[in-house]
Amino acid sequence: MNKNFITFEGSDGAGKTTVLKRVFETLNGSLETPVILTREPGGNRISEMIRNVILDRNNEEMDPKTEALLYAAARRQHLVETVLPALNAGKLVLSDRYLDSSIAYQGGGRQIGYQAVYDMNQFATAGLMPGLTIYFDVPVEVGLERIAKHRSVDEVDRLDVETKAFHNRVHAAYQQLVHDNPDRIVSVDATKSIDEVCTKVLTILDDYLNRSVK
């Protein structure tokens, strides 16, 4: 666990990325500690290339285990090239998704299993976990409605167009992760307005960062 590593999780359509960008702008202008914002899969050239393969809607034949392994590969490159150098330099790293996403989407959604996905990622991460994870909780129906309303055809990816049953399994896996990791994961009601969610997240971060320096 690294206290300067903070991850943001949530089902598609939870508003996580929008809130995270606002939170980053606020923290970047108020903290003495340098802050970086990154994402998974992605965060550097190689990981972004893997992201494009994973999320390309033309890759319908991709096997679930291939998908999970590609996420793990992107995660490894993201850690080595982006996250670990920043943490070693004493920076605060805010990441849009991390290992919990793989457990929820591939372990739950693709039904590979929690433990199988966790185990394959131990090789990729060498056991590195964030000190805090903020989970944006939103009902599946609301998330899918937001995707349909706010994303263009070009922005909708291969996971967005999965069945409702798939997204229900993802949501259930996230709920289990929240239940199993109460000391690390804090759940936020993402059905609220963007301003309300931003305020809540900033309050959580302020409390966490103040506790971490003591």
Cα dihedral 127, 131, 136, 139 in deg (nearest 10) = 50
Q: What is the pLDDT of residue 67?
A: 97
Cα angle 56, 60, 65 (rounded to 5 degrees) comes to: 95
Q: What is the pLDDT of residue 212?
A: 67
Q: What is the pLDDT of residue 213?
A: 54
- Nearest alpha carbon to residue 16 among 183, 187, 206: 187
Q: What is the pLDDT of residue 15?
A: 87
Q: What is the pLDDT of residue 214?
A: 47
Per-residue pLDDT of the chain (214 residues), as tens digits, is 899 999 999 988 888 999 999 999 999 988 999 999 999 999 999 999 999 999 998 999 999 999 999 999 999 999 999 999 999 999 999 999 999 999 999 999 999 999 999 999 999 999 999 999 999 999 988 888 888 887 777 767 777 777 889 999 999 999 999 999 999 999 999 999 999 999 999 999 999 999 865 4
Architecture of domain 2-212: 3-Layer(aba) Sandwich (3.40)
Q: What is the pLDDT of residue 94?
A: 98
